[in-house]
Structure 1
Amino acid sequence: MDAWVWWLIAAVGLGIPLVLTAMPEFGMFAVGAVAGAIVAALGGGIVAQVLVFVVVSVALVSVVRVVAARHRGDGPQFSSGIDALRGRRAVVLERVDGGGGGRVKLAGEIWSARALDETQSFEPGQQVDVVEIDGATAVVM
Structure 2
Amino acid sequence: MASEGDAVAAPVPVPETVEVAADAAKGPLTIEEALAIVLRKALANDGLVRGAKESIKALDRKDAELCVLCEATEEAGIVSLVEALCNEHSIRLIKVADAKKLGEMAGLCKIDREGTARKVVGASVVVVRKWGEESVARTTILEHFSS
TM-score range, shorter chain: under 0.3
Q: Using CA pairs below 8 Å that are at least 6 residues apart, which structure has the higher relative contact order?
A: 2
Q: Which has the larger radius of gyration?
A: 1
| Length-normalised TM-score, structure 1 | 0.23
Judging by fraction of residues, say which structure has more helix. 1
Judging by fraction of residues, say which structure has more strand. 1
